[in-house]
Amino acid sequence: MADRISILFIGGGVAAHLYSLVAAHRYGAKQLAVTMVDPIEDAPDRNLCVWGPPEPLLQDALIVEWSRVQFGYGRSTITKELHTLTYRHYSAKSIRKVVDTRMQVNRILAHHSTVDRQVDVALDSRPSTVFHRDATLSLQQHFHGWRIQTDADTFDPDVMTMMDFRVDQSNGVCFIYVLPYSRTDALVECTVFSSEPWQKDMYESRLSAYISDNLSCSTYEILSTETGSIPMCDAIPDRKRGEHWFSIGSAAGLTKATTGYTVARCIRDAEHLFDTQQRTGVWSIPQRPSRRFDWYDRLLLRIIRDEPERVPGIFWALFNRNPIELILRFLDEETSLFDEIRVFWSLPWSPFLRAIFRR
């Protein structure tokens, strides 16, 4: 047993399960002793989506995937083929189920504040309190969605809607996100970028207007709802919390400030962490991606804060004028400087120029 790797997860949410799966893949599930400490036994489920090439690690957690994505703005929509990529839908519960079938996890129901047991590494997803850089601005991506069953065929099950701005834009940048499960069943979500979450009726009025005006659907049943909010913030947390003790997940700053996407970044982070340990014997967290991306995010956050009315046009130009593969690599922070110049060349310049000089 001495050569088993012991991992203590403080916080047993999405990140803890993703890091466990990567660890099981790297070391072998039998070589791991995994403990997760979390005060909540059964957190509400979360719909989690990721784009990219097939991800064998999460194959058994897959709920549905789409090969085309749609955008809407003004009077137009565009649909883009993802070619070798797909947009894939998992959930916090489907990922946890895979963990529970692949490995043994010692789950402890408790609040935890310090690492008082002998473990090889402690991975902590409690919110950060110490920052390498404090936030200069802080907004929220907040949303409320309905899973609906319609009477008539309403959705194309091959096409998910990533951003449809054809909704009322007062009170914050607002778009509709649609995940279709069949021709008559979809999650339709109203997503907003603004400083404060809304009252429920504000999301609901956008949702019902969108469903009747844009989906031309008058009869439907609401099967379930999803509500959430993700910080859009430029703070950079200090990830080292002690000897062999690091923050992970959103607490580690792995949520992209301008999109909220976190899952793919957690997987990449975990791969780096465990690969480095296997190769060198040292536990160390990866460097942050180039600071250029932090800066781009900060510019867009300033535009969302100061000129929200410009934001739908910026996203529309981004998606309409660039190949989808380039956009997704850009959002994944995997583009070269040359690619980024190409992307920015396609966007309206003036809001970005103003944002450079604003604080």
Ligand X SMILES: Cc1cc2nc3c(=O)[nH]c(=O)nc-3n(C[C@H](O)[C@H](O)[C@H](O)COP(=O)(O)OP(=O)(O)OC[C@H]3O[C@@H](n4cnc5c(N)ncnc54)[C@H](O)[C@@H]3O)c2cc1C
Binding site for ligand X (CB under 6 A): 10-16, 37-40, 43, 46-50, 111-112, 125-126, 226, 228, 230, 249-251, 255, 260-263
Give me the least distance between CB of 266 and ligand X, in Å please: 7
Give me the least distance between CB of 355 and ligand X, in Å please: 25
- Which residue in this structure is represented by tokens 């701005």? 165
**Rounded Cα distance, 345 and 359, in Å:** 23
Give me the least distance between CB of 143 and ligand X, in Å please: 7
Nearest alpha carbon to residue 134 among 253, 262, 240: 253
Select 123 or 347, whichever has its Cβ closest to ligand X. Answer: 123
Cβ–Cβ under 8 Å, residues 276 and 284: yes
Select 121 or 251, whichever has its Cβ closest to ligand X. Answer: 251
How is residue 155 written in tokens?
A: 């959705």
Select 16 or 232, whichever has its Cβ closest to ligand X. Answer: 16
Helix 337-345 and helix 291-306, axial crossing angle in degrees, nearest 10: 20
DSSP β-bridge partners for residue 182: 185
Give me the least distance between CB of 80 and ligand X, in Å please: 18
DSSP state letters, 182-238: ETTEEEEEEEEEESSPPPHHHHHHHHHHHHHHTS----EEEEEEEEEEEEEE--EE-
Give me the least distance between CB of 296 and ligand X, in Å please: 18
Output the residue with the shortest Cβ distance to ligand X: 13
Cβ–Cβ under 8 Å, residues 236 and 133: yes
Select 39 or 348, whichever has its Cβ closest to ligand X. Answer: 39
* Cα angle for residues 67, 54, 260 (degrees, 5° grid): 75
Select 315 or 355, whichever has its Cβ closest to ligand X. Answer: 315
Select 314 or 332, whichever has its Cβ closest to ligand X. Answer: 332
Give me the least distance between CB of 265 and ligand X, in Å please: 7
